[in-house]
Amino acid sequence: MAGKKIPHVLLNSGHKMPVIGMGTSVENRPSNETLASIYVEAIEVGYRHFDTAAVYGTEEAIGLAVANAIEKGLIKSRDEVFITSKPWNTDARRDLIVPALKTTLKSFTSVEMNPSWQQGKLREFCKQKGIHVSAWSALGAYKIFWGSGAVMENPILQDIAKAKGKTIAQVALRWVYQQGSSAMAKSTNRERMKQNLDIFDFELSEEDLERISQVPQRRQYTGDMWLSENGSCKTLEELWDGDV
């Protein structure tokens, strides 16, 4: 990826954010040193955007990676790396949630979005409000306990990828990009890290986009764990405002 420019999107805050980022949510989290080495490799490959949250437990490792990358001369300063985070349940208090949302949602919102959950209604709303949409689970959380093969094993995406000489992941990420959104893609494999960035040398045609619009839609992350008879959301319909 040396010398290859990753496009940026201009946020309402005035900051420029790379449209492809490295997701850092992990299962069975390894040591900070191990994670930092992975993130340094990502920086070396060309990533300048990392997505995290306090609940991921990866913030310190990202900090170590940035410091190591500066020491190795891969980047000159912290300013070269864009880091996104998000409010979590600990901010869900009356005195905390509004300030937390004001610092994040006015610039962009991060939601599950991919060819098998296209979020057309939400994207249109955000477009009207000037809110940038960033996609997590852009590859359908493939081989993650709550995900599925709805994206990576989809025959339509397989056909398009074969025709263009690209991977299914590249087609899915390119689809997100052509919707005007940014995407988070997670991998610890150097070659796949490169592939996930290498989506700017081809385009999906109108015919491709029309075919992808026919992909069966279903949410991968259902959110069952947040339902409670004693809580504010007792059903999935209540949790997702009817958009299940």
Residues carrying an active site annotation: 56
Q: What is the DSSP letter of 143?
A: T
> In sequence order, which residues have a C-beta less than 8 Å from that of residue 177 and are 6 or more positions away?
7, 19, 20, 183, 199, 200
Distance from C-alpha of 95 to C-alpha of 98, rounded to nearest angstrom: 7
Q: Which has the closest alpha carbon to 84: 121, 115, 116, 51? A: 51
Distance from C-alpha of 213 to C-alpha of 117, rounded to nearest angstrom: 10
Q: What are residue 110's phi and psi, to 5 degrees?
A: -110, 120
Cα–Cα distance list, 33 to 26, 36, 38, 65, 231 (Å) = 14, 5, 9, 9, 39
Q: What is the sign of the dihedral through the CA atoms of 222, 179, 137 and 24?
A: negative
140 CB neighbour count, 10 Å cutoff: 25
